[in-house]
Amino acid sequence: MGVYIRSIGAYVPENRVTNDDLTKLVDTSDEWIQSHTGIKARHICAEDEVTSDLAVKAAEQAIERGGIAKDEIDMLVVATASPDYTGFPSTASIVQDKLGLEKAAAFDLVAGCTGFVYGLETGRSLIEGGAFRNVLLIGVETLSRITNWKDRNTCVLFGDGAGAVVLSPSMSEESGIIDSLLGSEGSGAQHLVRRAGGSKEPIKLGSTKEEDLYIQMNGRQVYNFAVRVNTEVITTLLDRHQLTIDGISWIVPHQANIRIIQAAAGRLKIPMEKFFTNIHEYANTSAASIPIALNEMYETDKLQRGDLVLLTGFGAGLSYGGNLLKW
C-alpha cells in the first residue's frame, strides 16, 4: 500500500500588499525587491485573522474536494512556525476543534519552511505504519505577526497563507508519495531565529529587546545554504530512482527567493520552465508555500494524475528536505 495526495486546498488573505506599499514603511523600492527576490506582492492577514483561521479555510477546501467525511480523518498535522499560541495549545488542536474533526488526533510540526515537506513524509509514515487511515496535513503561516516591519532586510520577504492536503491510502500504482529526503543542519540555527519567547530568552517586560520578538536572519548564509541543499536534494532523489530530469513533470520548490531557484537551476543545468514559481504574488509563506503552489497548479490544470513531481524545501533549523511523488 502507498499513500497519495487525495485532495488539496489553499487560502490566502484578501489584503494584498505591494512592494510600493512597503516603501511607506521602510527605505526600499519595488525595483530592489523584485530584482533581489522576484517578489511583487504578498497577502497579509486581517487584524482579527489568526493562523488557525487560515488553516481552517484551506482545510475545508481540501476536505470538500477529497469527498471525505470529517469523521474519516483520524490525524491532523499542522506545520507552522507562527502558531496561534507559543508552545501550547497546539494550533492543530484549535484547528481540530474549529473543523469539528471529532475522531482526529492533532499535533503541530515545527520545521520552519521545510514543514510541509516533513509533514508529507510524517503523514505517509503514519498511514503506512497502519495506525492511521487519513491524515489532514496543513502548512500555514501568519509570518506578518512575527515580522519586524522596521527591518527592510526581512519585512519585504514574507507573506501569510495556508495550504492543506488530505493524505489517504493509495490502492493503485498511479499516484503516491514515492520517497522523501529529510535533513537538518542545526549548527546553522542562529542564522534564522526568533530569539525571545522560549526558555532561552523568556520575554521580560522592560528588558526584552524589541527586535528579538521578531524574525532575524543572516540572509547571505541562508541563501548559500538554500542553493546548496536544493541542488543536493534534487540530485539525490533523482539518482536514488535512476531518473533524469526529463522524467519529472515539475519541480515545486519552496518559494523563498527566485534567485535561489535560478541559482539551483543553473548549477543543475535544469531549465527554469521545470520549476513552478508563484513567489511574485505571495512572497515567502514558509510552510504554506509548497501547498499554495501545488493548489495553484491543480486549479490551472498543470498537474495530471501520474505526473512525477519533485518538492524541495529549506528553512529555519536549518532544515531541508524533498519529496518525490506521483501526483
Residue span 113-152 as binding mask against ligand ACO, x where in contact by CB under 6 A, dash where not: x--------------------------------------x
Closest among 192, 157, 156 to 284, alpha carbons compared: 157
Residue span 176-205 as binding mask against ligand ACO, x where in contact by CB under 6 A, dash where not: ----------------x-------------
Residues 43 to 102: which contact ligand ACO by CB under 6 A?
A: none
Written as one string, the DSSP assignment of 193-213 is E--TTSSSS---TTTS-GGGG
> How many angstroms separate the CA atoms of 45 and 117, rounded?
24
Residue burial 209-234, b: 16+ Cβ < 10 Å; e: rest: eeeebbbbbeeeebbebbbbbbbbbb
Using the rule CB under 6 A, is 32 a contact of ligand ACO? yes
212 grid coordinates: 528579538
Q: Which of 66, 112, 123, 253 binds ligand ACO (CB under 6 A)?
A: 112
Smaller CB separation from ligand ACO, 153 or 208: 153
Using the rule CB under 6 A, is 220 a contact of ligand ACO? yes
Q: Which of 113, 191, 230, 295 is catalytic?
A: 113
**Is 113 a known active-site residue?**
yes
Residue span 237-276 as binding mask against ligand ACO, x where in contact by CB under 6 A, dash where not: -------------------xx-------------------
Residue 269 half-sphere exposure, CB side, CA atoms within 13 Å? 2
CB of 178 to ligand ACO, least distance (A): 25
Q: How far is CA 318 from CA 90, 109, 202, 214, 226, in A?
A: 22, 15, 22, 17, 9
Q: What is the DSSP secondary structure assignment for residue 277, as one 8-state letter? A: -
Smaller CB separation from ligand ACO, 122 or 154: 154
325 grid coordinates: 511523488
Stretch that binds ligand ACO, among 43-51, 69-77, 218-226, 267-275 (CB under 6 A): 218-226
Smaller CB separation from ligand ACO, 127 or 137: 137
> How many angstroms separate the CA atoms of 132 and 142, rounded?
29
> How many angstroms separate the CA atoms of 257 and 159, rounded?
12
Using the rule CB under 6 A, is 19 a contact of ligand ACO? no
List active site positions: 113, 254, 284
